[in-house]
Amino acid sequence: MGLLELRELSKEYRRGGRVFNAVNRVNLSVEPGDFISITGRSGSGKTTLLNMGAGLLNPTGGTVLFEGKDVYTLRDKDISFLRTEKIGYVPQGQSLLSNFTDFDNVRIPWALFKRGGDVEGRAFTLLEKVGISHLAASYPKELSGGEMRRAAIARALVNKPRLLIADEPTGDLDTETTAEIMKLFKAVAQEGTAVLIVTHELDTLDYGNKTYSMDAGNLAPRAA
Ligand SMILES: Nc1ncnc2c1ncn2[C@@H]1O[C@H](COP(=O)(O)OP(=O)(O)OP(=O)(O)O)[C@@H](O)[C@H]1O
Ligand SMILES: [Mg+2]
């Protein structure tokens, strides 16, 4: 039994009188320690797939199992717990809360389910790992796109998730920073957290152990 199992997962959309499957009967098994990369053209269904896998978007067909539990039959409270506690998510685009500093943004997921421990230390260490600890006291509007993305990555890791999902996490980073983030993800995977990312940069594929490509809603292993 995998950590995350997508079975015949589909999302049907209707737009302008047309019905289409943005995600079409996708099967994917994610094991602890996996580092999985998905590539694919714009509009091929990558974000839709990740959102369903993260418990954020109801499928129109198929199932999502996390640790053997059918995610979309859970109560809202249990899905929220799963999303905050077990799944770290780095969305495509800007997702930091503008009224909070970088440091506080990183601590938010921890604060949602009150508990002890040195969250300040952990948040600061993560900001150091993504290379922006000098910006801990800055607000999102004072940051570049890549700096905001790196803060979102630190935030996704603060609760030590079992699964890290990231949607084009290096889209606005330079080559050197991209390599640093990929190394961080690889280290995270080696510590046993599964990593599932969507990427446009083909050179990032070398870091993963499994690669897939998505085409018009269909997921297939990438030819080597
Ligand atoms: N709420 C919606 N209603 C109707 N169609 C939608 C909706 N959300 C997305 N789509 C369509 O579903 C398809 C897949 O979208 P998705 O965002 O998953 O693509 P993507 O592969 O992530 O693209 P990109 O690389 O540009 O981020 C696209 O054709 C998109 O226009
Ligand atoms: Mg997308």
Q: Is the CB of 211 under 6 A from ligand 1?
A: no
Average pLDDT over residues 127-150: 95
pLDDT at 113 (0 to 100): 74
Average pLDDT over residues 200-217: 89
Average pLDDT over residues 72-79: 93
Question: Closest residue (by CA) to atom 30 of ligand 1?
Answer: 43
Q: Are strands 163-167 and 87-90 parallel, antiparallel or unpaired?
A: parallel
* Strand order across the 35-40 sheet: 87-90, 163-167, 194-198, 35-40, 210-215, 218-221
Residue 114 pLDDT greater than 70, yes or no: no
- Return the structure tokens found at 114: 């009150």
Instruction: Identify the residue with better confidence: 78 or 112.
Output: 78
Q: Distance, CA 218 to ligand 1 centroid (Å)?
A: 13
Burial of 29 (0-12, 13-18, 19+ CB in 10 A): middle
Question: Closest residue (by CA) to atom 4 of ligand 1?
Answer: 13
Q: How far apart are the first and last CA of the chain?
A: 26
- Distance of CA 103 to CAs 81, 165, 193, Å? 22, 21, 23
Q: Which ligand approaches the C-alpha of residue 58 most closely?
A: 1
CATH T-level topology, domain 1-86+164-224:
Rossmann fold (3.40.50)
Q: Domain residues of the chain, as ranges?
A: 1-86+164-224, 96-160
Pocket test for ligand 1, best of 18, 39, 47 (most atoms within 8 A of CB): 47
Q: Which ligand approaches the C-alpha of residue 22 most closely?
A: 1
pLDDT band at residue 203 under the 50/70/90 scheme: confident
pLDDT at 224 (0 to 100): 65
pLDDT band at residue 41 under the 50/70/90 scheme: very high
Question: Taking each helix axis from N to C terminus, what angle separates 145-157 and 102-112, rounded to the nearest 10 degrees?
Answer: 30
Q: Is the CB of 47 under 6 A from ligand 1?
A: yes
Q: Is the CB of 44 under 6 A from ligand 1?
A: yes
Torsion, Cα of 145, 183, 213, 174 (10° steps): 30
Average pLDDT over residues 160-168: 96
Q: Is the CB of 40 under 6 A from ligand 1?
A: yes
Ion ligand 2 nearby residues (CB, 5 A): 47, 92
pLDDT digits (tens, 9 = 90+) for 165-177: 999 999 888 998 8
**By C-alpha distance, which of 70, 55, 37 is closest to 161?**
55
pLDDT digits (tens, 9 = 90+) for 82-92: 998 999 999 99
Instruction: Identify the residue with better confidence: 62 or 206.
Output: 62
Q: Distance, CA 15 to ligand 1 centroid (Å)?
A: 11
pLDDT digits (tens, 9 = 90+) for 98-108: 999 999 999 99
